[in-house]
Homo-oligomer: A and B are copies of this chain.
């Protein structure tokens, strides 16, 4: 009602900056999904016009680069102090806790992997993360060449996620679809039918039997084992410590 009323909406408001924009963007994506992360809706959540955002990020792509920066900062903080640190020469245990710590962050921002995979430029935060992973392997007796291949072999798993094919957004709808397809599966796809029958023991018999965390760790261990065999086979790092091949 007074002159101050209008001022409260502008002068009293904290000024916008890149950091506030990015934090609001992460919050919006966490709360309402990446689909809701539009310039207009983000501006709205900040009580500002869409065009104001362009003073702090160059465009939508730069905004997405920025939210990945925020998430990767979180990942790097999480892996800096693992709950159970591994022995310095036990590269497998070191990689395992590192990857699973990164995974925990990604599970808090389930939209992040999808955005990360659309990034076209590599950020310092991601390089920092990779540097830590490489360090674990090099100190564990890898050649730089093998460590390089190892990072490719791990792929996005190195960052704690795996793009699952056909991740149903509605599990019950997916179950219904599986139910509907069952006759065709039994008739035409014997191995899939057999696998589903075998997997149904102890579960409710529906398709949604996969334990994502178990499958992630299984795949991770398969790769780490395969890499360990190659590390030993090559032995192109003379000062490498004696390998400890006990499965954890």
Contacts and interface: CB of A to CB of B under 8 A. Distances in A.
Contacts of A127: 181, 185, 189, 192
Contacts of A223: 153, 219, 222-223, 226
Given A120-B166, A124-B184, A165-B155, A148 B199 contact: yes
A248 interface: no
B230 A198 contact: no
A111 interface: no
A150 B219 CA distance: 8
A230 B128 CA distance: 34
Q: What is the interface of chain A mostly: helix, strand, loop, or mixed?
A: helix
Given A165-B159, A185-B127, A153 B222 contact: yes
A119 interface: yes
Given A128-B188, A177-B122, A192-B130, A145 B199 contact: yes
B163 A131 contact: no
In which size bucket is the chain A interface? Answer: 35 or more
Interface in A76-130: 116-117, 119-122, 124, 126-128, 130
Given A121-B174, A210-B152, A195 B163 contact: no
B131 A190 contact: yes
Contacts of A230: 222
Interface string A178-218: 00010011001111101101110000000000100001001
A60 interface: no
A131 B218 contact: no
A229 interface: yes
